[in-house]
Protein backbone atom coordinates (compact mmCIF):
# COMPACT_ATOMS: atom_id res chain seq x y z
CA UNK A 1 0.00 0.00 0.00
CA UNK A 2 1.13 3.53 -0.70
CA UNK A 3 0.01 7.11 -0.93
CA UNK A 4 -2.94 7.30 -3.33
CA UNK A 5 -2.15 10.75 -4.78
CA UNK A 6 -1.58 9.33 -8.26
CA UNK A 7 -4.15 6.53 -8.12
CA UNK A 8 -6.51 6.17 -11.06
CA UNK A 9 -10.24 5.50 -10.67
CA UNK A 10 -10.55 2.84 -13.37
CA UNK A 11 -8.22 0.63 -15.39
CA UNK A 12 -6.45 2.75 -18.04
CA UNK A 13 -6.49 1.79 -21.73
CA UNK A 14 -4.65 -1.46 -22.32
CA UNK A 15 -5.18 -2.77 -18.78
CA UNK A 16 -7.27 -5.82 -17.95
CA UNK A 17 -10.24 -5.66 -15.58
CA UNK A 18 -7.91 -6.64 -12.72
CA UNK A 19 -5.62 -3.71 -13.67
CA UNK A 20 -2.80 -5.93 -14.93
CA UNK A 21 -0.89 -4.94 -18.07
CA UNK A 22 1.82 -6.62 -20.13
CA UNK A 23 5.28 -5.88 -18.78
CA UNK A 24 6.53 -5.31 -22.34
CA UNK A 25 10.02 -6.32 -21.28
CA UNK A 26 11.35 -6.10 -24.83
CA UNK A 27 10.53 -2.38 -24.92
CA UNK A 28 12.88 -1.35 -22.12
CA UNK A 29 15.70 0.80 -23.47
CA UNK A 30 19.40 0.24 -22.88
CA UNK A 31 19.38 3.28 -20.60
CA UNK A 32 16.55 1.81 -18.51
CA UNK A 33 18.37 -1.50 -18.12
CA UNK A 34 21.51 0.45 -17.18
CA UNK A 35 19.58 2.33 -14.50
CA UNK A 36 18.49 -0.98 -12.97
CA UNK A 37 22.07 -2.27 -13.10
CA UNK A 38 23.39 0.89 -11.41
CA UNK A 39 20.80 0.67 -8.62
CA UNK A 40 21.32 -3.08 -8.23
CA UNK A 41 25.10 -2.83 -7.98
CA UNK A 42 24.92 -0.06 -5.40
CA UNK A 43 22.38 -1.77 -3.17
CA UNK A 44 23.69 -5.33 -3.44
CA UNK A 45 27.14 -4.10 -2.34
CA UNK A 46 25.66 -2.30 0.66
CA UNK A 47 23.20 -4.90 1.98
CA UNK A 48 25.32 -7.86 3.17
CA UNK A 49 25.51 -7.52 6.96
CA UNK A 50 22.52 -5.17 6.89
CA UNK A 51 19.68 -7.05 5.21
CA UNK A 52 18.00 -10.08 6.77
CA UNK A 53 19.16 -13.55 5.87
CA UNK A 54 15.77 -14.24 4.27
CA UNK A 55 16.09 -11.22 1.99
CA UNK A 56 19.62 -12.09 0.90
CA UNK A 57 18.63 -15.71 0.22
CA UNK A 58 15.76 -14.50 -1.93
CA UNK A 59 17.99 -12.15 -3.87
CA UNK A 60 20.29 -15.08 -4.64
CA UNK A 61 17.76 -17.82 -5.39
CA UNK A 62 15.71 -15.59 -7.71
CA UNK A 63 18.85 -14.73 -9.69
CA UNK A 64 18.15 -11.02 -9.59
CA UNK A 65 21.83 -10.33 -10.21
CA UNK A 66 21.30 -11.13 -13.89
CA UNK A 67 21.94 -7.87 -15.79
CA UNK A 68 18.97 -5.71 -16.73
CA UNK A 69 15.41 -5.34 -15.51
CA UNK A 70 14.01 -8.79 -14.67
CA UNK A 71 11.46 -10.39 -16.98
CA UNK A 72 8.36 -10.95 -14.83
CA UNK A 73 7.52 -14.23 -16.59
CA UNK A 74 10.93 -15.72 -15.78
CA UNK A 75 10.83 -14.30 -12.26
CA UNK A 76 7.34 -15.67 -11.63
CA UNK A 77 8.36 -19.11 -12.84
CA UNK A 78 11.12 -19.28 -10.22
CA UNK A 79 8.91 -17.78 -7.51
CA UNK A 80 5.99 -20.13 -8.20
CA UNK A 81 8.24 -23.13 -7.61
CA UNK A 82 9.34 -21.72 -4.25
CA UNK A 83 6.21 -20.25 -2.67
CA UNK A 84 3.40 -20.16 -5.23
CA UNK A 85 3.64 -16.42 -5.81
CA UNK A 86 3.87 -14.59 -9.11
CA UNK A 87 4.68 -11.03 -10.16
CA UNK A 88 2.16 -9.16 -12.32
CA UNK A 89 2.64 -5.78 -13.96
CA UNK A 90 0.31 -2.85 -13.27
CA UNK A 91 0.36 0.68 -14.72
CA UNK A 92 0.83 2.38 -11.34
CA UNK A 93 -0.89 2.49 -7.98
CA UNK A 94 -4.09 0.42 -7.98
CA UNK A 95 -7.24 0.70 -5.82
CA UNK A 96 -7.14 -0.97 -2.43
CA UNK A 97 -9.64 -3.71 -3.28
CA UNK A 98 -7.62 -4.66 -6.37
CA UNK A 99 -4.38 -4.62 -4.38
CA UNK A 100 -5.79 -6.89 -1.67
CA UNK A 101 -7.38 -9.30 -4.13
CA UNK A 102 -4.09 -9.84 -5.93
CA UNK A 103 -2.22 -10.28 -2.67
CA UNK A 104 -4.77 -12.71 -1.22
CA UNK A 105 -4.27 -14.81 -4.34
CA UNK A 106 -0.46 -14.68 -4.21
CA UNK A 107 -0.04 -12.19 -7.01
CA UNK A 108 2.34 -9.34 -6.30
CA UNK A 109 1.60 -6.19 -8.29
CA UNK A 110 4.63 -4.32 -9.60
CA UNK A 111 5.02 -1.18 -11.63
CA UNK A 112 6.52 -1.81 -15.07
CA UNK A 113 8.35 1.53 -15.37
CA UNK A 114 11.73 2.53 -13.94
CA UNK A 115 12.90 5.87 -12.58
CA UNK A 116 15.08 8.22 -14.59
CA UNK A 117 18.86 8.30 -14.00
CA UNK A 118 18.45 11.63 -12.16
CA UNK A 119 15.98 10.03 -9.71
CA UNK A 120 18.24 7.31 -8.31
CA UNK A 121 17.90 8.38 -4.70
CA UNK A 122 14.19 9.16 -4.38
CA UNK A 123 10.96 8.49 -6.23
CA UNK A 124 7.57 8.97 -4.57
CA UNK A 125 5.66 6.47 -6.71
CA UNK A 126 7.08 2.93 -6.54
CA UNK A 127 8.80 1.77 -9.71
CA UNK A 128 10.04 -1.62 -10.89
CA UNK A 129 13.23 -1.34 -8.83
CA UNK A 130 11.40 -0.66 -5.58
CA UNK A 131 8.78 -3.30 -6.29
CA UNK A 132 11.03 -6.07 -7.56
CA UNK A 133 14.37 -5.50 -5.83
CA UNK A 134 12.67 -4.31 -2.65
CA UNK A 135 9.72 -6.68 -2.29
CA UNK A 136 10.16 -9.81 -4.36
CA UNK A 137 13.17 -11.42 -2.61
CA UNK A 138 11.09 -11.67 0.58
CA UNK A 139 8.39 -13.53 -1.36
CA UNK A 140 10.85 -16.40 -1.78
CA UNK A 141 10.70 -16.96 1.98
CA UNK A 142 7.81 -19.36 2.76
CA UNK A 143 6.87 -17.75 6.08
CA UNK A 144 6.89 -14.18 4.80
CA UNK A 145 5.02 -15.32 1.69
CA UNK A 146 2.29 -16.70 3.98
CA UNK A 147 2.26 -13.42 5.92
CA UNK A 148 1.59 -11.38 2.78
CA UNK A 149 -1.21 -13.68 1.69
CA UNK A 150 -2.77 -13.38 5.16
CA UNK A 151 -2.36 -9.62 4.95
CA UNK A 152 -4.21 -9.56 1.64
CA UNK A 153 -7.13 -11.50 3.12
CA UNK A 154 -7.11 -9.18 6.11
CA UNK A 155 -7.23 -6.20 3.81
CA UNK A 156 -10.38 -7.50 2.17
CA UNK A 157 -12.01 -7.72 5.61
CA UNK A 158 -10.70 -4.31 6.69
CA UNK A 159 -12.42 -2.64 3.75
CA UNK A 160 -15.78 -3.68 5.18
CA UNK A 161 -14.86 -2.54 8.69
CA UNK A 162 -13.70 0.98 7.77
CA UNK A 163 -10.31 0.14 9.22
CA UNK A 164 -7.96 0.54 6.29
CA UNK A 165 -5.97 3.27 8.04
CA UNK A 166 -4.89 0.86 10.75
CA UNK A 167 -4.07 -2.04 8.46
CA UNK A 168 -2.12 0.29 6.19
CA UNK A 169 0.12 1.18 9.12
CA UNK A 170 0.84 -2.50 9.71
CA UNK A 171 1.97 -2.83 6.09
CA UNK A 172 4.05 0.32 6.32
CA UNK A 173 5.94 -0.67 9.46
CA UNK A 174 6.52 -4.29 8.43
CA UNK A 175 6.51 -4.87 4.66
CA UNK A 176 7.87 -1.43 3.79
CA UNK A 177 9.99 -0.36 6.75
CA UNK A 178 10.40 -3.35 9.05
CA UNK A 179 13.44 -4.41 11.06
CA UNK A 180 14.11 -7.89 12.44
CA UNK A 181 16.36 -9.15 15.21
CA UNK A 182 18.81 -11.82 14.05
CA UNK A 183 20.96 -13.04 16.92
CA UNK A 184 22.36 -9.98 18.66
CA UNK A 185 21.94 -7.74 15.62
CA UNK A 186 19.19 -5.79 13.92
CA UNK A 187 18.65 -6.34 10.21
CA UNK A 188 16.46 -4.68 7.61
CA UNK A 189 13.81 -6.49 5.55
CA UNK A 190 11.29 -3.78 4.62
CA UNK A 191 11.31 -2.97 0.92
CA UNK A 192 11.37 0.78 1.43
CA UNK A 193 14.66 0.38 3.30
CA UNK A 194 16.42 -2.31 1.28
CA UNK A 195 15.74 -0.45 -1.98
CA UNK A 196 17.02 2.87 -0.59
CA UNK A 197 20.76 3.55 -0.44
CA UNK A 198 20.37 6.26 2.20
CA UNK A 199 17.77 4.61 4.42
CA UNK A 200 19.60 1.27 4.37
CA UNK A 201 22.24 3.06 6.44
CA UNK A 202 19.99 5.44 8.38
CA UNK A 203 17.68 2.69 9.69
CA UNK A 204 20.52 0.79 11.36
CA UNK A 205 23.33 3.27 11.93
CA UNK A 206 21.88 6.69 12.65
CA UNK A 207 21.27 7.62 16.31
CA UNK A 208 18.21 9.71 15.43
CA UNK A 209 15.30 7.20 15.11
CA UNK A 210 13.65 5.13 17.81
CA UNK A 211 13.80 1.37 17.38
CA UNK A 212 10.93 -0.27 19.22
CA UNK A 213 9.87 -3.86 19.82
CA UNK A 214 6.94 -4.89 17.62
CA UNK A 215 3.45 -4.77 19.12
CA UNK A 216 0.60 -4.99 16.63
CA UNK A 217 -1.77 -2.56 18.37
CA UNK A 218 1.03 -0.05 18.92
CA UNK A 219 2.05 -0.25 15.27
CA UNK A 220 -1.50 0.23 14.04
CA UNK A 221 -1.89 3.39 16.12
CA UNK A 222 1.31 4.96 14.81
CA UNK A 223 1.28 7.62 12.12
CA UNK A 224 3.92 7.67 9.40
CA UNK A 225 5.41 9.93 6.76
CA UNK A 226 5.84 8.93 3.14
CA UNK A 227 8.32 11.64 2.16
CA UNK A 228 11.24 11.22 4.56
CA UNK A 229 13.17 8.78 6.73
CA UNK A 230 11.18 7.05 9.43
CA UNK A 231 11.64 8.20 13.03
CA UNK A 232 10.19 5.02 14.52
CA UNK A 233 11.19 1.57 13.31
CA UNK A 234 9.52 -1.54 14.73
CA UNK A 235 11.57 -4.67 15.31
CA UNK A 236 10.05 -8.14 14.96
CA UNK A 237 11.69 -11.11 16.72
CA UNK A 238 11.13 -13.43 13.73
CA UNK A 239 8.98 -13.89 10.66
CA UNK A 240 7.33 -16.87 12.32
CA UNK A 241 6.19 -14.63 15.16
CA UNK A 242 4.95 -11.95 12.77
CA UNK A 243 2.86 -14.54 10.93
CA UNK A 244 1.57 -16.08 14.16
CA UNK A 245 0.43 -12.73 15.55
CA UNK A 246 -1.25 -11.79 12.27
CA UNK A 247 -3.11 -15.09 11.93
CA UNK A 248 -4.16 -15.34 15.59
CA UNK A 249 -5.30 -11.72 16.08
CA UNK A 250 -9.04 -11.08 16.02
CA UNK A 251 -8.94 -7.82 14.11
CA UNK A 252 -12.60 -6.71 14.38
CA UNK A 253 -12.50 -5.98 18.15
CA UNK A 254 -8.97 -4.62 17.77
CA UNK A 255 -10.15 -2.10 15.18
CA UNK A 256 -12.98 -1.05 17.48
CA UNK A 257 -10.48 -0.51 20.29
CA UNK A 258 -8.13 1.46 18.06
CA UNK A 259 -10.91 3.78 16.91
CA UNK A 260 -11.48 4.77 20.53
CA UNK A 261 -7.83 5.71 21.04
CA UNK A 262 -5.68 8.60 19.81
CA UNK A 263 -3.15 8.16 17.04
CA UNK A 264 0.51 8.13 18.06
CA UNK A 265 2.81 10.71 16.41
CA UNK A 266 5.61 9.47 14.16
CA UNK A 267 8.50 9.93 16.61
CA UNK A 268 6.80 9.28 19.95
CA UNK A 269 7.82 6.88 22.68
CA UNK A 270 4.82 5.52 24.60
CA UNK A 271 4.61 4.05 28.12
CA UNK A 272 4.88 0.30 27.73
CA UNK A 273 7.07 0.43 24.62
CA UNK A 274 9.94 -2.02 24.47
CA UNK A 275 12.62 0.50 23.55
CA UNK A 276 15.58 -1.10 21.81
CA UNK A 277 17.17 2.21 20.83
CA UNK A 278 15.88 5.55 22.11
CA UNK A 279 16.60 7.98 19.32
CA UNK A 280 18.07 11.44 19.62
CA UNK A 281 15.63 12.81 17.00
CA UNK A 282 18.56 14.89 15.74
CA UNK A 283 17.63 14.30 12.11
CA UNK A 284 14.03 15.44 12.56
CA UNK A 285 15.08 18.48 14.60
CA UNK A 286 17.63 19.50 11.98
CA UNK A 287 15.02 19.20 9.25
CA UNK A 288 12.56 21.31 11.26
CA UNK A 289 15.15 24.02 11.84
CA UNK A 290 16.52 24.02 8.31
CA distance 41 to 202: 19
Calpha distance 241→88 (Å, rounded): 28
Report the percentage of the chain scoring pLDDT > 90.
Answer: 85
Name the least confident of 87-96, 236-245, 255-264: 87-96
Q: What are phi and psi of 145, to 5 degrees?
A: -60, -40
* Measured distance CA(173)–CA(171) in Å, rounded: 6
Name the helix (H) or strand (E) containing 182: strand 179-182
9-65: per-residue pLDDT in tens? Answer: 788 888 999 999 999 999 999 999 999 999 999 999 999 999 999 999 999 999 988
% of the chain residues with pLDDT over 70 = 96
Q: What class is the 25-289 domain?
A: mainly alpha
- Torsion angles phi and psi, residue 44, rounded to 5: -65, -25
HSE (side-chain half, CA atoms, 13 Å) at 64: 29
Residue 205 in contact with residue 261, Cβ under 8 Å?
Answer: no
The residues near 120 (Cβ < 8 Å, ≥ 6 apart) are 35, 38, 39, 42, 197
User: What is the separation of C-alpha 155 from the centre of its chain, rounded to a whole number of angstroms?
Assistant: 15
At 249, the pLDDT band (50, 70, 90 cuts) reads very high
Q: Which helix (H) or strand (E) holds 21?
A: none
Instruction: Tell me what the mean pLDDT of segment 109-127 comes to.
Output: 84
Distance, CA of 74 to CA of 145 (rounded, Å):
18
Q: State pTM to two decimals.
A: 0.94
Strand bridging mode 275-277 / 210-213: antiparallel
Between strands 232-236 and 210-213, the pairing is parallel
Residue 57 CB neighbour total at 10 angstroms: 15
Contacts of the segment 259-263: beta carbons below 8 A, 24+ positions apart: 259/163, 261/221, 262/221, 263/221, 263/222, 263/223
- 199-230 pLDDT, tens per residue? 999 999 999 999 999 999 999 999 998 889 99
CA separation, residue 153 to residues 99, 176, 190, 215 (Å):
11, 18, 20, 20
The residue extents of the domains of the chain are: 25-289
Q: Is the pLDDT of residue 5 over 70?
A: no
Q: What is the DSSP letter of 237?
A: S
Amino acid sequence: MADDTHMLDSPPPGAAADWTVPQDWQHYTAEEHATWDTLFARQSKLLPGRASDAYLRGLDVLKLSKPGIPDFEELSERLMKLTGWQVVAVPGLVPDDVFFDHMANRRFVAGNFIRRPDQLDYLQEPDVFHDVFGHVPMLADPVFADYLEAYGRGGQRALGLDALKYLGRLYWYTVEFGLIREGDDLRIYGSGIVSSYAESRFALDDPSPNRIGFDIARVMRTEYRIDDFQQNYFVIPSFDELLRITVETDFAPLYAELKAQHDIPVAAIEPGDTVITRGTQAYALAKAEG
